[in-house]
Amino acid sequence: MIDKNSKIYIAGHSGMVGSAIWRILTARGYVNLIGASSETLDLKNQQAVIKYIVSEKPAVIIDAAARVGGILANTNFPYQFIMENMQIQNNLIDSAFQSGVEKFIFLGSSCIYPKFAPQPLKEEYLLTGILEPTNEWYAIAKISGVKACEAIRKQYGKDYVSLMPTNLYGTNDNFDLNTSHVLPAMMRKFYDAKQNNHAPVTLWGSGSSLREFLFVDDMAQAVVFALENKLPDYLYNVGIGEDLTIKNLAETIQKIVGHQGEIIWDITKPDGTPRKLMDSTKMHDLGWKHQVSLDEGIQKTYDWFLENIDRFKQVKM
């Protein structure tokens, strides 16, 4: 049984998702959380990961570590996105299995589902069609992680579960325009343009694609829910069940930031998947549901961005 004294290793604890999980678990009274920086532990190094897990003997491993990025990063670095993510998750999953860790929570992404799958996306749509080409490298890596956890669960009866979040955003997000996802990238662009006399902002695509967004603290609560309960299936979507167009998202962020300039849509750039709405009925039926609305979450994220603006000013875009 997991209790507040159980040793819990959060891989990727300093990232947006990992730090949110750490924060929420600490607030709930968990006192034996461990993490290791990339300088201390290279998760791509199999022997180093095995040594760490054997030495620390965690009761639970939460895998929030990954190489992530938006369309640009996935397009420019396909090999790194497939190989590094497979190395990270394979080392963690196999080390957990080999050292007897009974509970493993693997975090993936909604991009694992086929590009033209029926909407909203259900868990059973996995591997029923072609992937979105702009992020298939990351998706294939994450699919392999889901199936590895399913295989261990099926063959050995261990409580290894995969949570597939929709698009995440929030405090401690990445605002580097070369590697960030759409929401923080927009926020950074509107902020910079506001500082530049409300200059026009150019955004990729037509703005017609539909996307769903989940505040990172709500994702962390879903992880806690999976930690404190033995979920009956191997794969669960985690989302809010609502989406909006990228154009509407841009206008919402623009309003919160206070940018008053023009938005220019560059239709020579890709839109990505036409729609990615998650069906999170399975998680909702078990008792988890999001708490933070999109407007509230964007405001919280922007407040955090402004509080930490000095670190972002160091990188000129």
Per-residue pLDDT reduced to its tens digit, 239-298: 999 999 999 999 999 999 999 999 999 999 988 778 889 999 999 999 999 999 999 999
pLDDT score at 275: 85
Which DSSP category does 133 fall into? G
Residue, of 1 and 234, whose pLDDT is higher: 234
108 is in an annotated binding site: yes
pLDDT band at 7 (very low <50, low <70, confident <90, very high): very high
18 is in an annotated binding site: yes
270 is in an annotated binding site: no
165 is in an annotated binding site: yes
pLDDT band at 314 (very low <50, low <70, confident <90, very high): low
In this model, does residue 120 exceed pLDDT 80? yes
The per-residue pLDDT for range 87-114, each reduced to its tens digit, is: 999 999 999 999 999 999 999 999 999 9
138 an active-site residue?
A: yes
pLDDT score at 317: 42
Phi (first) and psi of residue 42, to 5 degrees: -85, 105
The per-residue pLDDT for range 43-53, each reduced to its tens digit, is: 999 999 999 99
Q: In the numeric block, which tokens belong to residue 208?
A: 């017609």
The per-residue pLDDT for range 51-91, each reduced to its tens digit, is: 999 999 999 999 999 988 777 778 889 999 999 999 999 99
Flag the least confident range among 15-24, 146-155, 253-262, 273-282: 273-282
290 is in an annotated binding site: no
> Residues near 95 by Cβ (< 8 Å), separated by ≥ 6?
46, 49, 50, 52, 53, 54
Q: Considering the candidates 138, 169, 234, 236, report the single residue annotated as catalytic.
A: 138
Q: Which whole-number Å values give the CA distances from 265 to 134, 176, 201, 204, 250, in the listed order? A: 19, 20, 9, 6, 11
Asked whether the beta carbons of 282 and 233 are under 8 A apart, the reply is yes
280 is in an annotated binding site: no
Q: In the numeric block, which tokens belong to residue 98?
A: 């080999």
Q: What is the mean pLDDT of the chain?
A: 94
Task: Kindly list the structural domains of the chain, giving each domain's residue range(s) and its CATH number in brackets, ordered by start.
Answer: 8-313 (3.40.50.720)
